[in-house]
Amino acid sequence: MSGSRLPGFFRLGIDERRRIVAELGGVDGATLAAVLDRGGIDIATADRMIENVIGTHGLPLGVATNFLVDGSDVLVPMAIEEPSVVAAASNAARLVREGGGFITDADPPLMIAQVQLVDVPEPALCSERITKAAPELCAIADRAMPTVVARGGGAREVEVRDLGDGMMVVHLVVDCRDAMGANVVNTVAEAVAPRICQIAGARVGLRILSNLADRRRVRVLARVPAAALAHGGRPAREVVLGIAGASRFAEKDPYRAATHNKGIMNGVDAVVIATGNDWRAVEAGAHAHAASSGRYRPLSTWSESENGDLVGSIEMPLALGTVGGAARLHDGAKLVLEILGVRGASELARIACAVGLASNLAALRALATEGIQEGHMPLARRGSS
Ligand code: MEV
Protein backbone atom coordinates (compact mmCIF):
# COMPACT_ATOMS: atom_id res chain seq x y z
CA MET A 1 0.00 0.00 0.00
CA SER A 2 1.29 3.45 -0.86
CA GLY A 3 0.09 6.98 -1.44
CA SER A 4 -3.61 7.40 -0.81
CA ARG A 5 -4.79 4.62 -3.14
CA LEU A 6 -5.62 1.96 -0.56
CA PRO A 7 -7.87 -0.75 -2.02
CA GLY A 8 -9.51 -2.83 0.69
CA PHE A 9 -8.72 -0.31 3.47
CA PHE A 10 -12.34 -0.59 4.63
CA ARG A 11 -11.96 -4.32 5.21
CA LEU A 12 -9.15 -3.88 7.76
CA GLY A 13 -9.60 -3.69 11.52
CA ILE A 14 -9.31 -0.35 13.30
CA ASP A 15 -5.79 -1.05 14.63
CA GLU A 16 -4.50 -1.92 11.17
CA ARG A 17 -6.16 1.18 9.66
CA ARG A 18 -4.50 3.29 12.35
CA ARG A 19 -1.13 1.69 11.66
CA ILE A 20 -1.37 2.49 7.95
CA VAL A 21 -2.58 6.06 8.49
CA ALA A 22 0.21 6.70 11.02
CA GLU A 23 2.79 5.30 8.63
CA LEU A 24 1.55 7.13 5.53
CA GLY A 25 0.73 10.31 7.45
CA GLY A 26 4.19 10.34 9.05
CA VAL A 27 2.84 10.47 12.62
CA ASP A 28 3.82 8.42 15.64
CA GLY A 29 1.51 5.39 15.93
CA ALA A 30 1.35 5.41 19.75
CA THR A 31 0.52 9.14 19.83
CA LEU A 32 -2.16 8.68 17.17
CA ALA A 33 -3.76 5.88 19.18
CA ALA A 34 -3.59 7.80 22.46
CA VAL A 35 -5.13 10.96 20.96
CA LEU A 36 -7.88 9.10 19.13
CA ASP A 37 -8.67 6.83 22.10
CA ARG A 38 -9.64 9.92 24.11
CA GLY A 39 -11.70 11.30 21.23
CA GLY A 40 -9.16 13.98 20.33
CA ILE A 41 -9.69 16.11 23.39
CA ASP A 42 -9.48 15.67 27.17
CA ILE A 43 -11.94 17.15 29.59
CA ALA A 44 -9.46 19.65 31.09
CA THR A 45 -8.78 21.12 27.63
CA ALA A 46 -12.49 21.20 26.87
CA ASP A 47 -13.02 23.12 30.11
CA ARG A 48 -10.54 25.76 28.89
CA MET A 49 -12.18 26.04 25.47
CA ILE A 50 -15.80 26.85 26.34
CA GLU A 51 -17.95 27.59 29.37
CA ASN A 52 -19.95 25.38 31.75
CA VAL A 53 -18.32 22.20 30.43
CA ILE A 54 -19.73 18.87 31.58
CA GLY A 55 -18.07 16.58 29.01
CA THR A 56 -16.97 16.18 25.41
CA HIS A 57 -19.08 15.06 22.46
CA GLY A 58 -17.61 12.59 19.98
CA LEU A 59 -18.16 11.98 16.26
CA PRO A 60 -16.86 9.12 14.13
CA LEU A 61 -13.54 10.02 12.46
CA GLY A 62 -12.97 8.16 9.19
CA VAL A 63 -10.27 8.50 6.53
CA ALA A 64 -11.12 9.06 2.88
CA THR A 65 -8.74 7.32 0.49
CA ASN A 66 -7.76 7.79 -3.19
CA PHE A 67 -7.41 11.59 -3.12
CA LEU A 68 -4.89 13.02 -5.55
CA VAL A 69 -4.85 16.81 -5.19
CA ASP A 70 -2.54 18.90 -7.38
CA GLY A 71 -0.43 15.82 -8.03
CA SER A 72 -0.03 14.86 -4.35
CA ASP A 73 -1.61 11.90 -2.61
CA VAL A 74 -3.48 12.86 0.52
CA LEU A 75 -5.31 10.83 3.17
CA VAL A 76 -8.28 12.87 4.31
CA PRO A 77 -9.62 12.48 7.86
CA MET A 78 -13.37 13.30 7.98
CA ALA A 79 -15.51 13.76 11.11
CA ILE A 80 -19.15 13.06 10.34
CA GLU A 81 -22.14 11.16 11.71
CA GLU A 82 -23.71 10.31 8.31
CA PRO A 83 -23.12 6.83 6.85
CA SER A 84 -21.74 6.50 3.29
CA VAL A 85 -20.14 9.96 3.03
CA VAL A 86 -16.55 8.78 3.61
CA ALA A 87 -16.93 5.74 1.32
CA ALA A 88 -18.68 7.80 -1.39
CA ALA A 89 -16.01 10.54 -1.34
CA SER A 90 -13.30 7.86 -1.59
CA ASN A 91 -15.04 6.22 -4.55
CA ALA A 92 -15.47 9.53 -6.36
CA ALA A 93 -11.83 10.43 -5.65
CA ARG A 94 -10.84 7.14 -7.33
CA LEU A 95 -12.78 8.15 -10.46
CA VAL A 96 -11.23 11.63 -10.52
CA ARG A 97 -7.80 10.07 -10.00
CA GLU A 98 -8.26 8.28 -13.31
CA GLY A 99 -8.56 11.72 -14.93
CA GLY A 100 -5.39 13.04 -13.26
CA GLY A 101 -6.77 14.09 -9.87
CA PHE A 102 -8.16 17.36 -8.53
CA ILE A 103 -6.65 20.62 -9.76
CA THR A 104 -7.03 23.50 -7.31
CA ASP A 105 -6.50 27.20 -7.02
CA ALA A 106 -7.01 29.56 -4.06
CA ASP A 107 -7.18 33.32 -3.53
CA PRO A 108 -4.87 34.87 -0.96
CA PRO A 109 -6.27 34.57 2.60
CA LEU A 110 -8.13 37.88 2.59
CA MET A 111 -10.90 38.51 5.12
CA ILE A 112 -13.14 41.55 5.49
CA ALA A 113 -13.55 43.63 8.66
CA GLN A 114 -16.78 45.66 8.55
CA VAL A 115 -17.24 48.99 10.33
CA GLN A 116 -20.80 50.21 10.02
CA LEU A 117 -21.50 53.95 9.96
CA VAL A 118 -24.92 55.41 10.69
CA ASP A 119 -26.35 58.93 10.45
CA VAL A 120 -23.78 59.81 7.78
CA PRO A 121 -24.51 63.42 6.82
CA GLU A 122 -22.83 63.47 3.37
CA PRO A 123 -22.14 59.96 2.03
CA ALA A 124 -20.17 61.07 -1.05
CA LEU A 125 -17.86 63.32 0.98
CA CYS A 126 -17.49 60.65 3.67
CA SER A 127 -16.53 58.08 1.07
CA GLU A 128 -13.93 60.43 -0.44
CA ARG A 129 -12.35 61.22 2.94
CA ILE A 130 -12.17 57.60 4.07
CA THR A 131 -10.70 56.48 0.75
CA LYS A 132 -8.03 59.19 1.08
CA ALA A 133 -7.26 58.03 4.62
CA ALA A 134 -6.77 54.39 3.53
CA PRO A 135 -2.98 54.31 4.21
CA GLU A 136 -3.50 55.74 7.71
CA LEU A 137 -6.32 53.24 8.44
CA CYS A 138 -4.19 50.33 7.18
CA ALA A 139 -1.35 51.47 9.47
CA ILE A 140 -3.70 51.55 12.49
CA ALA A 141 -4.95 48.08 11.54
CA ASP A 142 -1.40 46.72 11.19
CA ARG A 143 -0.46 48.03 14.65
CA ALA A 144 -3.41 46.06 16.05
CA MET A 145 -2.17 42.73 14.61
CA PRO A 146 1.64 42.58 15.03
CA THR A 147 1.74 38.77 14.97
CA VAL A 148 -0.12 38.58 11.67
CA VAL A 149 2.11 41.31 10.19
CA ALA A 150 5.20 39.41 11.40
CA ARG A 151 3.93 36.38 9.47
CA GLY A 152 3.62 38.42 6.27
CA GLY A 153 -0.06 39.38 6.58
CA GLY A 154 -1.71 42.72 7.34
CA ALA A 155 -4.22 45.26 6.07
CA ARG A 156 -4.33 45.39 2.28
CA GLU A 157 -7.18 47.64 1.20
CA VAL A 158 -10.01 49.91 2.31
CA GLU A 159 -13.42 49.83 0.60
CA VAL A 160 -16.36 52.11 1.29
CA ARG A 161 -19.93 51.09 0.47
CA ASP A 162 -22.98 53.33 0.63
CA LEU A 163 -25.97 51.28 1.82
CA GLY A 164 -28.43 54.19 1.53
CA ASP A 165 -30.56 55.98 4.15
CA GLY A 166 -27.45 57.51 5.76
CA MET A 167 -25.88 54.09 6.37
CA MET A 168 -22.41 53.25 5.08
CA VAL A 169 -19.94 50.47 5.71
CA VAL A 170 -16.17 50.55 5.60
CA HIS A 171 -14.33 47.32 4.75
CA LEU A 172 -10.77 46.76 5.88
CA VAL A 173 -9.42 43.89 3.79
CA VAL A 174 -6.99 41.88 5.91
CA ASP A 175 -4.53 39.20 4.83
CA CYS A 176 -4.61 36.83 7.80
CA ARG A 177 -2.16 34.23 6.43
CA ASP A 178 -2.76 30.80 8.02
CA ALA A 179 -5.31 31.96 10.60
CA MET A 180 -9.04 31.60 10.01
CA GLY A 181 -9.02 35.28 10.88
CA ALA A 182 -12.15 35.89 12.97
CA ASN A 183 -10.26 37.07 16.06
CA VAL A 184 -7.77 39.23 14.27
CA VAL A 185 -10.34 40.76 11.93
CA ASN A 186 -12.66 41.62 14.82
CA THR A 187 -9.71 43.22 16.61
CA VAL A 188 -8.94 45.26 13.50
CA ALA A 189 -12.56 46.39 13.13
CA GLU A 190 -12.55 47.70 16.70
CA ALA A 191 -9.09 49.28 16.35
CA VAL A 192 -9.89 51.36 13.24
CA ALA A 193 -13.45 52.33 14.19
CA PRO A 194 -12.65 55.42 16.35
CA ARG A 195 -10.54 57.02 13.56
CA ILE A 196 -13.17 56.16 10.93
CA CYS A 197 -15.78 57.77 13.17
CA GLN A 198 -13.68 61.00 13.37
CA ILE A 199 -13.08 61.11 9.61
CA ALA A 200 -16.70 60.36 8.72
CA GLY A 201 -18.27 62.66 11.30
CA ALA A 202 -20.84 59.90 11.77
CA ARG A 203 -21.81 57.40 14.42
CA VAL A 204 -20.12 53.99 14.38
CA GLY A 205 -22.41 50.96 14.54
CA LEU A 206 -21.23 47.34 14.34
CA ARG A 207 -17.56 46.35 14.09
CA ILE A 208 -17.21 42.73 13.03
CA LEU A 209 -15.86 40.44 10.31
CA SER A 210 -17.98 39.42 7.33
CA ASN A 211 -18.56 35.69 6.92
CA LEU A 212 -19.13 36.28 3.21
CA ALA A 213 -15.41 35.63 2.69
CA ASP A 214 -15.63 36.27 -1.05
CA ARG A 215 -12.02 37.51 -1.23
CA ARG A 216 -10.90 34.06 -0.03
CA ARG A 217 -12.37 31.77 -2.66
CA VAL A 218 -11.15 28.33 -3.64
CA ARG A 219 -11.66 26.70 -7.03
CA VAL A 220 -11.32 23.01 -7.89
CA LEU A 221 -11.53 21.24 -11.25
CA ALA A 222 -12.06 17.53 -11.83
CA ARG A 223 -12.20 15.37 -14.93
CA VAL A 224 -13.46 11.79 -15.04
CA PRO A 225 -12.75 9.74 -18.17
CA ALA A 226 -16.13 8.64 -19.54
CA ALA A 227 -15.08 4.98 -19.54
CA ALA A 228 -14.66 5.08 -15.74
CA LEU A 229 -18.32 5.96 -15.34
CA ALA A 230 -19.98 2.93 -16.93
CA HIS A 231 -21.94 1.54 -14.02
CA GLY A 232 -24.31 -1.34 -13.21
CA GLY A 233 -24.93 -2.20 -16.88
CA ARG A 234 -25.39 1.47 -17.80
CA PRO A 235 -23.24 2.75 -20.66
CA ALA A 236 -20.71 5.45 -19.75
CA ARG A 237 -22.36 8.15 -21.88
CA GLU A 238 -25.69 7.66 -20.16
CA VAL A 239 -24.03 8.22 -16.78
CA VAL A 240 -22.09 11.29 -18.00
CA LEU A 241 -25.28 12.84 -19.41
CA GLY A 242 -27.21 11.85 -16.28
CA ILE A 243 -24.73 13.70 -14.04
CA ALA A 244 -24.65 16.72 -16.38
CA GLY A 245 -28.47 16.72 -16.36
CA ALA A 246 -28.50 16.64 -12.55
CA SER A 247 -26.21 19.67 -12.60
CA ARG A 248 -28.58 21.54 -15.01
CA PHE A 249 -31.47 20.76 -12.62
CA ALA A 250 -29.58 22.44 -9.75
CA GLU A 251 -28.67 25.40 -12.00
CA LYS A 252 -32.35 25.95 -12.83
CA ASP A 253 -33.99 25.25 -9.47
CA PRO A 254 -33.01 26.66 -6.06
CA TYR A 255 -34.90 23.83 -4.32
CA ARG A 256 -32.58 21.34 -5.99
CA ALA A 257 -29.53 23.64 -5.64
CA ALA A 258 -29.93 23.60 -1.84
CA THR A 259 -29.74 19.79 -1.78
CA HIS A 260 -26.94 19.73 -4.36
CA ASN A 261 -24.96 22.12 -2.13
CA LYS A 262 -25.80 20.05 0.97
CA GLY A 263 -24.10 17.13 -0.74
CA ILE A 264 -21.01 19.30 -1.28
CA MET A 265 -21.03 20.43 2.35
CA ASN A 266 -21.14 16.77 3.49
CA GLY A 267 -17.53 16.56 2.36
CA VAL A 268 -16.39 20.09 3.15
CA ASP A 269 -17.82 20.19 6.68
CA ALA A 270 -16.43 16.77 7.60
CA VAL A 271 -12.91 18.09 6.89
CA VAL A 272 -13.64 21.45 8.52
CA ILE A 273 -14.85 19.73 11.71
CA ALA A 274 -11.99 17.19 11.76
CA THR A 275 -9.48 20.06 11.62
CA GLY A 276 -11.20 21.99 14.44
CA ASN A 277 -12.36 24.80 12.17
CA ASP A 278 -15.52 26.91 12.41
CA TRP A 279 -18.05 25.09 10.24
CA ARG A 280 -20.81 27.66 10.94
CA ALA A 281 -18.62 30.34 9.35
CA VAL A 282 -17.92 28.09 6.37
CA GLU A 283 -21.62 27.27 5.93
CA ALA A 284 -22.64 30.95 6.20
CA GLY A 285 -20.03 31.93 3.57
CA ALA A 286 -20.90 29.07 1.22
CA HIS A 287 -24.62 29.81 1.10
CA ALA A 288 -24.19 33.59 0.93
CA HIS A 289 -21.86 33.02 -2.03
CA ALA A 290 -24.34 30.60 -3.61
CA ALA A 291 -26.96 33.37 -3.50
CA SER A 292 -24.66 36.24 -4.50
CA SER A 293 -26.07 36.53 -8.05
CA GLY A 294 -29.48 37.30 -6.55
CA ARG A 295 -30.62 33.71 -7.03
CA TYR A 296 -29.51 30.70 -5.01
CA ARG A 297 -27.26 28.61 -7.27
CA PRO A 298 -25.20 25.40 -7.07
CA LEU A 299 -21.60 25.88 -5.93
CA SER A 300 -20.47 23.28 -8.49
CA THR A 301 -21.44 22.37 -12.04
CA TRP A 302 -20.80 19.29 -14.21
CA SER A 303 -20.88 18.86 -17.97
CA GLU A 304 -19.73 16.62 -20.80
CA SER A 305 -16.42 17.75 -22.29
CA GLU A 306 -15.65 17.85 -26.02
CA ASN A 307 -14.14 14.35 -25.90
CA GLY A 308 -17.05 12.91 -23.92
CA ASP A 309 -15.44 12.95 -20.45
CA LEU A 310 -17.22 14.33 -17.43
CA VAL A 311 -15.82 17.63 -16.15
CA GLY A 312 -16.78 19.39 -12.95
CA SER A 313 -15.81 22.59 -11.21
CA ILE A 314 -16.57 24.25 -7.90
CA GLU A 315 -15.94 27.68 -6.46
CA MET A 316 -16.67 28.68 -2.88
CA PRO A 317 -15.31 30.89 -0.11
CA LEU A 318 -13.41 28.93 2.53
CA ALA A 319 -12.13 30.69 5.63
CA LEU A 320 -10.04 28.01 7.33
CA GLY A 321 -7.10 28.19 9.69
CA THR A 322 -4.17 25.96 10.54
CA VAL A 323 -2.93 28.21 13.37
CA GLY A 324 -4.82 29.70 16.33
CA GLY A 325 -8.33 28.69 17.39
CA ALA A 326 -8.99 25.01 18.08
CA ALA A 327 -5.92 24.09 16.00
CA ARG A 328 -3.89 25.38 18.97
CA LEU A 329 -5.72 23.48 21.72
CA HIS A 330 -7.44 20.41 20.27
CA ASP A 331 -5.07 17.42 20.03
CA GLY A 332 -7.38 15.61 17.59
CA ALA A 333 -7.42 18.61 15.22
CA LYS A 334 -3.62 18.88 15.45
CA LEU A 335 -3.27 15.19 14.63
CA VAL A 336 -5.61 15.50 11.64
CA LEU A 337 -3.58 18.44 10.29
CA GLU A 338 -0.45 16.31 10.63
CA ILE A 339 -2.04 13.38 8.76
CA LEU A 340 -3.15 15.76 5.99
CA GLY A 341 0.40 17.09 5.88
CA VAL A 342 -0.81 20.56 4.92
CA ARG A 343 1.66 23.43 4.93
CA GLY A 344 -0.97 26.07 5.64
CA ALA A 345 -4.56 27.27 5.47
CA SER A 346 -4.64 27.62 1.68
CA GLU A 347 -3.65 24.00 1.16
CA LEU A 348 -6.22 22.85 3.72
CA ALA A 349 -8.96 24.86 1.97
CA ARG A 350 -8.04 23.37 -1.42
CA ILE A 351 -8.28 19.84 -0.03
CA ALA A 352 -11.60 20.53 1.77
CA CYS A 353 -13.02 21.95 -1.46
CA ALA A 354 -11.82 18.90 -3.44
CA VAL A 355 -13.55 16.64 -0.91
CA GLY A 356 -16.72 18.72 -1.38
CA LEU A 357 -16.57 18.22 -5.14
CA ALA A 358 -15.93 14.48 -4.67
CA SER A 359 -18.94 14.15 -2.33
CA ASN A 360 -21.06 16.00 -4.87
CA LEU A 361 -19.91 13.73 -7.72
CA ALA A 362 -20.67 10.61 -5.69
CA ALA A 363 -24.18 11.83 -4.85
CA LEU A 364 -24.98 12.87 -8.44
CA ARG A 365 -23.69 9.60 -9.85
CA ALA A 366 -25.90 7.62 -7.48
CA LEU A 367 -28.90 9.90 -8.13
CA ALA A 368 -28.45 9.73 -11.90
CA THR A 369 -28.21 5.94 -11.91
CA GLU A 370 -29.75 3.55 -9.40
CA GLY A 371 -30.89 6.22 -6.90
CA ILE A 372 -29.45 7.28 -3.60
CA GLN A 373 -31.11 4.65 -1.41
CA GLU A 374 -30.10 1.80 -3.70
CA GLY A 375 -26.66 3.03 -4.66
CA HIS A 376 -25.20 5.38 -2.11
CA MET A 377 -26.52 4.12 1.19
CA PRO A 378 -25.32 0.51 0.87
CA LEU A 379 -21.79 1.93 0.66
CA ALA A 380 -22.03 2.27 4.40
CA ARG A 381 -21.96 -1.53 4.60
CA ARG A 382 -19.65 -2.15 1.64
CA GLY A 383 -17.04 0.55 2.17
CA SER A 384 -15.00 2.07 -0.63
CA SER A 385 -12.85 0.40 -3.21
C1 MEV B 1 -27.39 13.49 1.43
O2 MEV B 1 -26.68 13.76 2.61
C3 MEV B 1 -26.87 14.37 0.31
C4 MEV B 1 -27.62 14.25 -1.02
O5 MEV B 1 -28.99 14.56 -0.85
C6 MEV B 1 -26.97 15.24 -1.97
C7 MEV B 1 -27.69 15.40 -3.32
O8 MEV B 1 -28.90 15.17 -3.39
O9 MEV B 1 -27.00 15.82 -4.26
C10 MEV B 1 -27.54 12.84 -1.57
- Check whether 132 has a pLDDT greater than 50: yes
Q: Which of 36-45, 136-145, 376-385 has the lowest mean pLDDT?
A: 376-385
- Check whether 30 has a pLDDT greater than 80: yes
pLDDT band per the 50, 70, 90 thresholds, residue 370: confident
- Check whether 297 has a pLDDT greater than 70: yes
pLDDT of residue 142: 98
pLDDT of residue 377: 59
Give 114's strand partners. Answer: 171, 208
Q: Which helix (H) or strand (E) holds 220?
A: strand 217-224
pLDDT band per the 50, 70, 90 thresholds, residue 302: very high
Cβ–Cβ under 8 Å, residues 92 and 379: no
- Check whether 380 has a pLDDT greater than 70: no
Ligand 1 centre and the CA of 205: distance in Å? 40
Q: What pLDDT, in 10s, does the model give residues 219-230?
A: 999 999 999 999
Residues lining ligand 1, CB < 6 A? 82, 259-260, 262-263, 266, 363-364, 367, 372
pLDDT of residue 327: 81
The alpha carbons of the chain give a radius of gyration, in whole angstroms, of 23
Q: Which residue has the higher pLDDT, 270 or 324?
A: 270
pLDDT band per the 50, 70, 90 thresholds, residue 362: very high
- Most ligand 1 atoms within 8 A of CB, residue of 300, 367, 370 to mutate: 367
pLDDT of residue 325: 86
Among the listed residues 28, 132, 262, 374, the single catalytic one is 262
Burial of 253 (0-12, 13-18, 19+ CB in 10 A): middle
Among the listed residues 28, 82, 119, 136, the single catalytic one is 82
Residue 228's identity, in one-letter code, is A
Active site residue 289: no
Give 154's strand partners. Answer: 175
Kindly state the average pLDDT of the residues 138-142.
98
293-306 exposure pattern, b = at least 16 Cβ within 10 A, e = fewer: eeebbbbbbbbbee
Q: What pLDDT, in 10s, does the model give residues 197-217?
A: 999 999 999 999 999 999 999
CA distance 271 to 240: 27
Ligand 1 centre and the CA of 112: distance in Å? 31
pLDDT of residue 375: 64
Kindly state the average pLDDT of the residues 50-65.
97
The CA distances from residue 43 to 49, 58, 59, 166, 277, in Å, are: 10, 12, 16, 49, 19
pLDDT of residue 182: 97
| Domains by residue range for the chain, with CATH | 9-107+217-384 (3.90.770.10), 110-209 (3.30.70.420)
Ligand 1 centre and the CA of 348: distance in Å? 23
pLDDT of residue 376: 60
Residues 6+ apart with CB under 8 A from 10: 87, 382, 383, 384
pLDDT band per the 50, 70, 90 thresholds, residue 1: very low
pLDDT of residue 384: 63
For the CA of 364, the closest atom of ligand 1 is 9
Kindly state the average pLDDT of the residues 2-20.
94
> For residue 227, what is the DSSP state?
G
- Give percent of the chain with pLDDT exceeding 70: 97
Kindly state the average pLDDT of the residues 63-91.
98
Residue 183's identity, in one-letter code, is N
Active site residue 376: yes
CA distance 240 to 97: 16
- Check whether 71 has a pLDDT greater than 50: yes
DSSP for 88-153, please give it. HHHHHHHHHHHTT-BEEEE---EEEEEEEEES-S-HHHHHHHHHHTHHHHHHHHHHH-HHHHHTT-
CA distance 173 to 191: 14
CA distance 339 to 322: 13
Among the listed residues 278, 309, 331, 347, the single catalytic one is 278
Ligand 1 centre and the CA of 293: distance in Å? 23
CA distance 32 to 336: 9
Active site residue 82: yes
Mean pLDDT of the chain: 96
CA distance 25 to 75: 7
Cβ–Cβ under 8 Å, residues 6 and 14: no
Q: What pLDDT, in 10s, does the model give residues 120-129?
A: 999 999 999 9
pTM attached to this predicted model? 0.96
- Give percent of the chain with pLDDT exceeding 90: 93
